[in-house]
Amino acid sequence: MQKRIYGIETEYGIIFTPEGRKTLPVEKAIRFLFERLITTEHFLNVFLENGARFYQDTGCHPEYATPECAAPGQLIVYDRAGERILEDLQAYAEEKIREERIPGKLSIFKNNTDFVGNSYGCHENYLVDRDVDFYYLAEQLIPFLVTRQIYTGAGKVFQTQDGVRYCVSQRAQHIYQKISGTTTNDRSIINTRDEPHADREKYRRLHVIVGDSNMSEYTNFVKVGTCAIVLQMIEDNYISKDFTLRNPVKAIKDLTFDTTCKRRLRLDNGREYSPIEIQREYCELAWKYMEQYPVSEDLKKAVGMWQHVLDCLDDDPSKLDHQIDWVIKRRMIESYIEAKGTTWSDPRVFMLDLQYHDIRRSRGLFYLLERAGAAERLFTDEEIDYAKNEPPPDTRAKMRGEFIKLAREHSIQYDLDWSNIRLGNLLNVRVICNNPLESDTEKVAELVRTIQKTNLRKTSLSKLVIQS
């Protein structure tokens, strides 16, 4: 698929730390976050002017779903824009908390685990060809997803029965099946959810729930870009080698404890490979594939970064201490331990781990490192700030974002989801947007002009149904 739709759904951890006897339930803190976004839509499920969706997910987690994006780089910008939007809402919520006279600190974290062992996700979404057999796709993709944690992991200080260990991935320990339909229990490497929000005869939505939430733009870009090129190779039936793992669920858990990234894994055919070697096989195929098939500039860039990352991991992972999350965080913690003369079991080390993921730029340790030049950037603050309010120009999100701005400007009643927009007092003016790759149509433009010329509430449009 030369043109693909990408999306990321990020569930955030939220904590209120009281500074006295009076406390604030997390549920109320989340309501304060949403209060600034009140529209005619459901209170805890809001579509934004940039085309994204912000809502409360299971377990009292605020969740941000990016708008439909047409390229990995664009997706990373809109994912980070979600952090900025949530940071703004956090400032508003803190003001509301002060008005309630509840002293304390509200913190929001872009991570995947809490202190009591719960996990919340970062879900990648890729539009794929319906013609590709799903189980064939899954079997081809699982070895890649199991082993990619060596460069996509966010890192975690983990308390085990044998003491404190540093893990590559936060999410890996919460995976229990190869393939399943659930995202909260019995989580799997490949999720079977098939909600393309598009023409079901043409497209399937691949829902990947095995990845970590990333702070590093570099890590995030490589994560999405490498998966996209592997998917394209699978769709073109290009991957001929069999990398099927004998026990992929055990492998994904075992690998997270190996920071050398060289632990041997047994394949179904009896051979043994390290995760670096498996990733190299995929990467070398990608280089050959690009010589024969058209590939976007973003994917070419991702493959080059992929090669660089694997070379560094093979030689010395610490060479990636400005680029890959788990390596950046480990370097930060090791520097602290050395400076303070303490150990990995120091409670302050666990707090450092958590503070790395704080989205508040004035408090988050990742952002402190980024400002100090210790974390490589791919995009500018101006690009991210623009994405907070403007939708991608080349996907369906453009129509959604423009409709939301227009409806609010003219005080028009509306309701919408990913594929439908409903307008008017009776919500009887309906726009069906079933092609996520389409950014505009003449019929939609005609409706926009109609709304701009007259007040929709005074216009008889009860029989108007526009389909794009």
Structural domain includes residue 229: yes
Structural domain includes residue 391: no
Domain match, 283 and 140 both: yes
Structural domain includes residue 218: yes
Structural domain includes residue 1: no
Crossing angle of helices 297-315 and 217-235, in 10° steps, is 110
Domain match, 321 and 418 both: no
Do residues 73 and 400 lie in contact, with contact meaning Cβ atoms separated by under 8 Å?
no
Structural domain includes residue 122: yes
Domain match, 105 and 245 both: yes
Domain match, 266 and 408 both: no
Q: Which residues pair with 165 in a beta bridge?
A: 158
Domain match, 296 and 148 both: yes
Per-residue pLDDT of the chain (468 residues; tens, 9 = 90+): 578 999 999 999 999 999 988 888 888 888 898 888 765 444 567 899 999 999 987 768 899 999 999 999 999 999 999 999 999 999 999 999 999 999 999 999 999 998 777 889 899 999 999 999 998 999 999 999 999 999 999 999 999 888 999 999 999 999 998 987 766 667 888 888 888 899 998 999 999 999 999 999 999 999 999 999 999 999 999 998 999 999 999 999 999 999 999 999 999 999 999 999 999 999 999 999 999 999 999 999 999 999 999 999 999 999 999 999 999 999 999 999 999 999 999 999 999 999 999 999 999 999 999 999 999 999 999 999 999 999 999 999 999 998 888 888 877 778 889 998 887 666 677 778 889 999 886 666 666 666 666 554 444 444 444 444
Structural domain includes residue 390: no
Domain match, 144 and 230 both: yes
What's the rounded Cα separation, in Å, for the pair 98 and 47?
A: 27
Q: Which of 385, 409, 431 is the last residue of a domain?
A: 385
Number of domains in the chain: 2
Domain match, 251 and 374 both: yes
**pTM for the predicted model, two decimal places:** 0.93
Q: Which residues have a catalytic role annotated?
A: 57
* Domain assignment of residue 440, given as a range: 396-467
Q: Which of 348, 364, 385 is the last residue of a domain?
A: 385
Structural domain includes residue 423: yes
206 Cβ partners below 8 Å, 6+ apart? 125, 126, 127, 128, 137, 190, 231
